[in-house]
Every structure is written in structure tokens, then in C-alpha cells.
Chains A and B, each alone.
Chain A
Amino acid sequence: MIDLFTLGFLQRALVAGILVSLLCGVLSTFVVLRRMAFIGVGISHSAFGGVALGFLLGVDPLWTGIGFALMVALLIEYAQTRTTVEEDTAIGIFFAASMALGLVFLHLSRAYNVDVFGFLFGNILAIGAQQLWQILVVTVGVLAVILAFFKELVFLSFDEEMAWVSGVPVKALRYLFLVIMALVVIVTIYLVGIILVSALLVIPGAIAQNLARQLKTMVWVSTGVAVGSAVGGLMLSYAIDFPSGATIVLVLAVLYLLTSGLRPWLHHR
């Protein structure tokens, strides 16, 4: 196995980019099929509150970020299932409140020296060995869970009621999926930043839906597109000296537009 501690910052960036985009690609299929794009936006933006809290308390923003993202994810789920609040209203309220809290925390911490910009827009070159380990652990854990419950996740995405009646642990899996999303969002922040995370959760799946007619193909295409865009975007950004996160997202957006244009031909054979 490669010794993660001896890698140079460029190699670390590349390995991190591959792992994170691999995760996003797999997850993106479900985000698109379950129409959870806006939840992705909500969870990722709410992580800002947690990251800022980390600065204020002087702890690793990863943990406070995960805490906040999880809390908001579960609040959204709770509001949606237990109250009469509409899901998108709940998301709109919770993520805005969480970002506002983040600004207050930053103000209180007077941490002008921290890389807020890096958290907002990603700074993959700043990934150290510790972050790489965190990413690796999340990647292995999340992929194992998705693989273990793949069949049930598909069923529940397709038809939640029938899945429930057939004995699928729907509620547990819904919460598990939110936990997974929160974890993936946090590690993806390293790659593209809080503002752009949702792009990686949505666009690969959307591209794959344009191209694939079978679910398994869709997962593979989504993953391939995500990894390809991350690696390609990183190299492109290095070559033309663009911000890396933004370049990755722009590559994805262009691919989405291209495949959307191709869709009518692909699907009328």
C-alpha cells in the first residue's frame, strides 16, 4: 500500500480527489434518483456553521462540521416526517440559519488568519496526511454500507411504501442515508469547498441518467464521470492556473450540457 505520509502535496491532492469523487459518484446516483439534490445543498451549506464553530473552539473543523451537517440533516428529516412543514421550506430555513450561525462564530472567534476562503471554495492542495486518512476511512466505510444495502436502497428509492410493506427497514435506511450524505459532504468540502459540494452530489448522477439505461450502468457511469472530472479538472486547473474546485465543477457542468444534448439520440434507438 502507498504510504500516505510520504506523498507530496500534489499526489495527496490527486489521491484525495479520486477517493472523494469516487464516493460522490456512487452516492450521486441515489441523490438523483431520490430527488435529494436540495437536501445536498442544505446539508453542505449548513456544514459552514460547524466549520466556523471548529475555528471558534479551536478543534478540527471536520468534527464540528460533521456534527452540524448531521444535526441539520436529521432536523430536516424530522421536520418532514413529524410536522406539517414542507421539506424544501425546512431545508431553506435550517441551512440559512446554520450559515448565519457560522458567520457569528467567525465574528466571535476573530480568526482572521484561518483559511475561511479555503473551506468555502475548496483548497485541495492544503490536504495533509491527516485529512487524507479521514477521507480514506469515510470512503471505505460509506462504500461498504452502500454495497451492503444496495438492493434495499434501490427499492426504497423506487417505491418507499412497497419497500416498507415488504419488510425493508425504510426508516433506518433513510436516516443512514442522511448520515452518509453528511459524511460525504464533509470530506468533499476539502475538494471543492462548501459552496460547490452539492455539484458533486448531483451532476455525476444527472449525467449518468442521461447516458445509462440500467441502474448498475448508471452507478458505474456516475462514478466514472465523477472521478474523471475530478482528475481532469485538477490537471486542467493546474495547467491554466484556475481554482481547482471551480474547474472540476465547470467540467461536470459542461459534460452535463453535452450529454443532455445527446440524450434524444441515445434514447431513441
Chain B
Amino acid sequence: MIEQEVTIKNRAGMHTRPAAALVKTAAKFKAEFFIEKDGLEINGKSIIGVMTLAAEQGSKLLLRFDGEDEEAAKKEIVGLIDRGFDE
């Protein structure tokens, strides 16, 4: 299992479209993917969960990956968030 902290960079925060992009990217990997914010942990492969995070710009998320392709999953998802979801 690996962990990585990230900060939401895009101005609009994790609204519907970024949330969908995140879930879609996570689905490509076998590794389990969880996101923790302010003590709330949700499954990063669930759109309803990601919507619940209310992750606005500047909020810090702890990402947790667990599975054979965890390194690859981390690289791609952290990249997506750092690029501000390509918005």
C-alpha cells in the first residue's frame, strides 16, 4: 500500500466533471483507491463518494492505493489532480 498527499489546484474544485474524470481514471487500475479528507474516507472509484468530498480549491486529500499496479495508478491520478483535471 502506498499513500500520497495532494492539493486540489483547479479553481472550481472537484465538481462533477473532475470527479467523473478521476473515477474514470481510477477504474483503469486493479489497485484499490481510497481518498481521505478531513477524516472522511471514501472509495475513489465511486462517483457519489467523490462528489461527497466537497473538495474545493486548496483542499488537501490523502490518496491511498493498494494493489499490484498501485505505483502506476498513483502516478496517473496524482498527475491528473496536479494538472487541475485538464480543465
A binds B: no
